[in-house]
Amino acid sequence: MEDSFQFKLRGSIYEVVVEEDNCFTVFKMEEEYLLITKLNGKKWVRIDYKTNEPVIEDNDEVEDLGIIIDKFLKD
Protein backbone atom coordinates (compact mmCIF):
# COMPACT_ATOMS: atom_id res chain seq x y z
CA MET A 1 0.00 0.00 0.00
CA GLU A 2 1.26 3.48 -0.90
CA ASP A 3 1.73 6.30 1.55
CA SER A 4 -0.54 9.30 1.37
CA PHE A 5 0.48 12.23 -0.81
CA GLN A 6 -0.41 15.91 -0.99
CA PHE A 7 -0.83 18.41 -3.80
CA LYS A 8 -2.39 21.76 -4.57
CA LEU A 9 -5.28 22.04 -7.05
CA ARG A 10 -7.45 25.08 -7.75
CA GLY A 11 -6.06 26.89 -4.73
CA SER A 12 -6.84 24.09 -2.26
CA ILE A 13 -4.53 21.61 -0.56
CA TYR A 14 -5.53 17.97 -1.03
CA GLU A 15 -4.23 14.80 0.57
CA VAL A 16 -4.95 11.40 -0.92
CA VAL A 17 -4.85 8.18 1.08
CA VAL A 18 -4.72 4.93 -0.89
CA GLU A 19 -7.33 2.48 0.38
CA GLU A 20 -8.09 -1.13 -0.51
CA ASP A 21 -9.98 -2.11 -3.68
CA ASN A 22 -8.53 0.75 -5.76
CA CYS A 23 -10.35 3.39 -3.69
CA PHE A 24 -8.86 6.67 -2.52
CA THR A 25 -9.91 8.85 0.40
CA VAL A 26 -9.43 12.52 -0.46
CA PHE A 27 -8.96 15.17 2.19
CA LYS A 28 -9.42 18.82 1.24
CA MET A 29 -7.88 21.45 3.50
CA GLU A 30 -7.28 18.74 6.16
CA GLU A 31 -10.91 17.53 6.28
CA GLU A 32 -12.21 14.29 4.80
CA TYR A 33 -13.84 15.28 1.55
CA LEU A 34 -14.41 12.44 -0.94
CA LEU A 35 -13.98 8.74 -1.54
CA ILE A 36 -13.21 8.09 -5.21
CA THR A 37 -12.42 5.16 -7.49
CA LYS A 38 -11.74 4.50 -11.14
CA LEU A 39 -14.78 2.76 -12.61
CA ASN A 40 -13.96 0.01 -15.11
CA GLY A 41 -10.43 1.38 -15.33
CA LYS A 42 -11.67 4.40 -17.29
CA LYS A 43 -13.82 7.00 -15.50
CA TRP A 44 -13.11 8.48 -12.09
CA VAL A 45 -16.21 8.65 -9.87
CA ARG A 46 -16.98 9.45 -6.26
CA ILE A 47 -18.36 6.83 -3.89
CA ASP A 48 -21.52 7.72 -1.96
CA TYR A 49 -20.74 7.38 1.76
CA LYS A 50 -24.29 6.25 2.62
CA THR A 51 -24.75 3.57 -0.03
CA ASN A 52 -21.08 2.77 -0.73
CA GLU A 53 -21.97 2.80 -4.45
CA PRO A 54 -20.29 4.77 -7.25
CA VAL A 55 -22.07 7.95 -8.31
CA ILE A 56 -22.10 8.26 -12.09
CA GLU A 57 -22.00 11.96 -12.91
CA ASP A 58 -19.88 14.52 -14.70
CA ASN A 59 -17.59 15.93 -12.04
CA ASP A 60 -14.56 17.88 -13.25
CA GLU A 61 -12.99 18.00 -9.79
CA VAL A 62 -13.13 14.20 -9.40
CA GLU A 63 -11.68 13.74 -12.90
CA ASP A 64 -8.84 16.19 -12.13
CA LEU A 65 -8.11 14.42 -8.84
CA GLY A 66 -8.06 11.09 -10.68
CA ILE A 67 -5.55 12.37 -13.24
CA ILE A 68 -3.23 13.44 -10.41
CA ILE A 69 -3.67 10.06 -8.67
CA ASP A 70 -2.82 8.24 -11.90
CA LYS A 71 0.37 10.31 -12.28
CA PHE A 72 1.37 9.63 -8.67
CA LEU A 73 0.84 5.88 -9.00
CA LYS A 74 2.89 5.69 -12.21
CA ASP A 75 5.95 7.36 -10.61
Q: Are 47 and 37 in contact (CB under 8 A)?
A: yes
Taking the domains of the chain in order of start, what are their residue ranges? 5-74
Give the model confidence (pLDDT) of 15-70 as tens digits: 999 998 889 999 999 999 999 999 988 899 999 999 999 999 999 999 999 999 99
Give the model confidence (pLDDT) of 1-17 as tens digits: 467 999 999 899 999 99
**Residue 39 DSSP SS3:** strand
pLDDT value for 1: 47
